DNA sequence: CTGTCTATTGCAACGTTTCGCAATAAGCCT
DNA sequence: AGGCTTATTGCGAAACGTTGCAATAGACAG
């Protein structure tokens, strides 16, 4: 039923699962087909919705549990949007952070190099290695801060 | 029924509300009595629970709506824990951030001075004024990063 | 191909928070 | 004290996830 083979790093998920004593199921295949077509970010609810398009019998808890195992395999990583809701970074996106302006509501990505400055500041003060992609940093953007 | 007067900044909330055309209700009084006894942080659910102790007829949606109003007045500010769930900073706590280690599960506060280093880094790279208290920064603590 | 083992699923219930809407009651003016 | 206006409440439903449990079905060995 699948027209094309999955692109890396999704092409061998089945074997990677079995190698860990886990199982390859049709439900997991659906989730992975959808993820392979996603472009970087998906929320849990969005993913459930898109899976339901392919397979109307999709059950939310199964999708969320699949996301948990894929996160253990390092194929997705969850983070949190400005409202704290979960969102998933889907490989192969480059590691990056998110900025959100509470005033105008706009969001920006914080590239790896610029994120490094933040990481350095925390490492220096606390020895803390921040996972910059995990939470969305909230504040005011340059423009909104200027017009205050 | 109240034994003691509320301490500042809670003592004049009723007038502050009325000055804005808003109303002073028994439900709001309950929420504020509980907040005045809280020591810095409360989650929405905790607050609902504590209100129910004083008034078993407490309704969650009323508590959450009251929190919205109090946030507009600047008496509380919401943030997000490591899992993205809302938590409220109750005045008069000093502005501060939160660090959470995803490996050992410990959390620390990030005092104002040390948070300034992070804020400076973002201001320099993006002109972004971070609200450091809004989200919990997740990563690995010094000890966990060392034993990797 | 069959049987065993147990990871995974479906389902239903729960926890937290938001929303719409009709009924209630603060606040204010006379 | 009585009446008007409309902010607020209570309530039911919904959105988003998580969890426990019994039934199902992958994986693998014989
Ligand atoms: Mn927020
Ligand atoms: Mn998280
Ligand atoms: Zn802005
Ligand atoms: Zn740690």
Please give residues of chain B from 3 to 42 whose alpha-adjacent beta carbon (CB) lies under 7 Å from any atom of strand D. Answer: 17, 21-23, 25, 27-28
Give the bases of strand D that a protein CB approaches within 7 Å. Answer: 7-13, 15-20, 25-28
A102 touching chain B per CB within 8 A: yes
Omega of the bond prior to A92 within 30 degrees of 0, cis? yes
The mean pLDDT values, 10 residues at a time, for chain B of 148 residues are 69 94 97 93 95 96 97 94 92 85 89 88 89 93 88
Both structure tokens of A97:
């952070």
The H-or-E segment that residue A61 falls in is helix A60-72
pTM: predicted TM-score of the whole model, two decimal places: 0.87
Quick: pLDDT tens for A67-117: 999 999 999 999 999 999 999 999 877 888 999 999 888 899 888 888 998
Q: Which residues pair with A87 in a beta bridge?
A: A43, A79
Whole-number Å distance between alpha carbons of A13 and A107: 32
Percent of chain A with pLDDT over 70: 97
| pLDDT reported for residue A73 | 94
Q: How far is residue A139's CA from residue A141's CA, in Å, rounded to a whole number?
A: 7
The residue with greater pLDDT, A142 or A6, is A142
Mean pLDDT to the nearest integer, A26-52: 95
Exposure string of B26-50, with b = 16+ CB inside 10 Å and e = fewer, is: ebbbbbbbbbbeeeeebebeebbeb
Partner residue opposite A135 with nearest CB, options B120, B128, B138: B138
Instruction: Round to a whole number and report the distance in Å from the CA of B106 to the C1' of C15.
Output: 23
**Mutate which of A84, A88, A104, A111 to test chain B, going by most B C-beta atoms within 10 A?**
A84
CA distance A50 to A45: 9
Q: Which of B85, B86, B122 sits opposite A118 (nearest CB)?
A: B122
Domains present along chain A, CATH in parentheses: 10-90 (1.10.10.10), 97-146 (3.30.1490.190)
């Amino acid at each position: 039923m699948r027209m094309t083979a999955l692109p890396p790093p999704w092409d061998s998920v089945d074997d990677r699962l079995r190698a860990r004593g886990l199982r390859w199921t049709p439900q997991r295949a659906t989730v992975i087909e959808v993820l392979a077509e996603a472009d970087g970010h998906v929320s849990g609810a969005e993913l459930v919705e898109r899976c339901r398009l392919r397979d109307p019998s999709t059950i939310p808890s199964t999708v969320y549990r699949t996301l948990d195992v894929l996160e253990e395999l390092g194929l997705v990583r969850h983070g949190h949007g400005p409202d704290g809701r979960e969102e998933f970074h889907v490989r192969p996106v480059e590691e990056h952070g998110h900025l959100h302006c509470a005033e105008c509501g706009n969001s920006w990505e914080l590239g790896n190099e610029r994120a490094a400055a933040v990481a350095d500041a925390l490492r220096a003060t606390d020895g803390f290695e921040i996972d910059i992609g995990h939470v969305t940093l909230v504040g005011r953007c340059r423009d909104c801060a200027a017009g205050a």
